[in-house]
Amino acid sequence: MENTTTSPYKSTSQALGIIGFVLGILTLLISFLPCVGVMAIVFGIVAIVLSTTALIISIQHHQSKLFATIGLILALLGCAIAGLQYFVLAKIAKNIPNQYQEELPYIIDRDTIFAEPDNDDAAYEYQDTLVPNNATK
């Protein structure tokens, strides 16, 4: 005879564990995509919460912990990869203005570039549209 008091907990822990497992796989897969991988943190947080809840219920009621454990590991791994990608991209983006400041001493004057030519044969010279950086300050 089956104990009916653990039956709802068994189905709840299994459902949460499977959902956490699927979201953990999704987190891990998305975390490897360049520039979009940071969005995996959203799925990862949901997967961590669901897998942890399923794991706690499973431990308290002596149920199977397989999907909840694997889902939690995959979600943590995916969040770690996505977080690493975020910090690397932030570091690169922070260094871009300083790195190219010496290499690009001129900025483009958009009014001159997009202005209508005075005559049909007039050709734009790119050098005429450049303004030194210190002139705009």
Between CA 93 and CA 112 the distance in angstroms is 29
Mean of the per-residue pLDDT values of the chain: 77
What are 38-90's pLDDT values in tens digits?
899 999 999 999 999 999 999 998 888 999 999 999 999 999 999 999 888 88
Q: Is the pTM of this model over 0.75?
A: no
Instruction: Band the pLDDT of 10: cuts 50, 70, 90.
Output: confident
In whole angstroms, give the CA distance from residue 22 to residue 110.
50
b/e per residue 69-95 (b: at least 16 CB within 10 A): bbbbebbbebbebbbebeeeeeeeeee
For residues 73 and 24, what is the distance between their CA atoms, to the nearest angstrom? 8
Q: Write out the two tokens for 125.
A: 């010279």
Q: How far apart are CA 88 and CA 27, in angstroms?
A: 18
HSE-CB of 27 using CA atoms within 13 angstroms:
29
Provide the 3-class DSSP secondary structure of residue 18: helix
Does the pLDDT at position 127 exceed 50? no
Tell me which residue has tokens 């209508």.
116
Q: DSSP secondary-structure letter at 36? A: T
